[in-house]
Structure 1
Amino acid sequence: MRFIDEHSHLFAVALPLRVLGIAESTYYAWRKQAEQPSDRDLVDLGLISNIHEIWEASGQTYGADRVHRQLCRDGIRVSRKRVERLMKQQGWQGAFLRRGWRGGSTRQNRSQMPAPDLVNRNFTADRPEPVVGRRRDPDPVR
């Protein structure tokens, strides 16, 4: 729809809509909605700014539940599911470290050299063959 709207000065709107199988009334309804957003859309824009302030102040760790609780404390009445929907649309999520938030909480700087191994650890086995199953006694006297 945006492409058709941006290039409507180059060609008639009816032709590409017919090719795409979209009714003209759908296009004009979309255009009217973009020019005159509903009251709910305007309130959502205000909520998005409030949610973003809370989410940023938390260091991007608050999820929808905590953001919703903070909005309630601030006196803004809104449902938790609406907060979830708006956060999901913006791509914002809280940290869930128990489940491995984006691969863990530690962020490595790949351009830096890793710390040297000062202990000189050696993780190789002493035996040439791998030990599988139960342990065998090296000196069976029984």
Structure 2
Amino acid sequence: MVGVISDFRTEHGISHRVSCRALGVSEAWFYKHRTRRPTCRELRRQHLIEAVQEEFDDSGGTYGSPKIWIRLVRQGWRVSVNTVAKIMAELGLLARKVRRRRGLTRPGKRPAAPDFVRRDFTAEAPDLVSPPRPANPHVSESVRDAIRDHGTMYRMTTNRKVHAA
């Protein structure tokens, strides 16, 4: 606020008295704060602003407040995430959004390529898994029972019918 009042005087020729009255502060407050040195809190805040700006620039503008906060804490700063977010908002620092990778193939966007080889991939029967060949004779009995109950099974590899015996 002191800087604003001083700037009005130097740039626009408006007296300190008029500027103080317009901003609602006393002239005594202005003259007191005009020459005072910054407090420890103000100095710390200024250093924090510089650290946030530096971390943001080092990341190439990709880090948001949570990640910058983590990096500042690792450097020894005692600060909250919300303070970092507030500083970034004041400085106008916005992290880039993560762009999700989009798949290259999308069904239904264009017609399928013509089949110049003219292969026929139609199935003769539904895909049924052939029973495993267990080493245990008790399991093989149950498999034979399953084949006998269903009557017919199809092998995946040859697409030929296997009849129960």
TM-score, length-scaled by structure 2:
0.47
**Alignment CA distance shift 1:11-1:61 (3 Å):** closer
Shift of residue 21, structure 1, vs aligned partner: 6.4
CA distance in 1, matches of 2:54, 2:71: 11
Contact 2:20 2:30 in 1 (8 A): no
**Partner letter of residue 57 of structure 1?**
D
Contact 1:64 1:93 in 2 (8 A): no
* Aligned residue pair count: 97
Percent sequence identity is 26
**Of 5, 13, 17, the match for 2:16:** 13
Aligned to 2:74: 73
Contact 1:87 1:93 in 2 (8 A): yes
Q: How does 1:40-59 map to 2 (within 5 A)?
A: 40-59=41-60
Shift of residue 68, structure 1, vs aligned partner: 0.2
**Alignment CA distance shift 1:93-1:34 (3 Å):** farther
CA distance in 2, matches of 1:26, 1:64: 39
Q: Which one has a bigger Cα radius of gyration?
A: 2
Q: How does 1:80-119 map to 2 (within 5 A)?
A: 80-97=81-98
SS class of match (1:97):
coil
Cα RMSD (Å) = 3.2
Q: Which has the higher contact order (CA 8 A, sep 6+)?
A: 1
Runs of 5+ in structure 1 lacking a partner?
Answer: 100-142
**Partner letter of residue 72 of structure 1?**
V
Runs of 5+ in structure 2 lacking a partner?
Answer: 101-165
CA distance in 1, matches of 2:45, 2:28: 23
Stretch deviating more after TM superposition (37-46 or 2-11): 2-11
Shift of residue 51, structure 1, vs aligned partner: 1.3
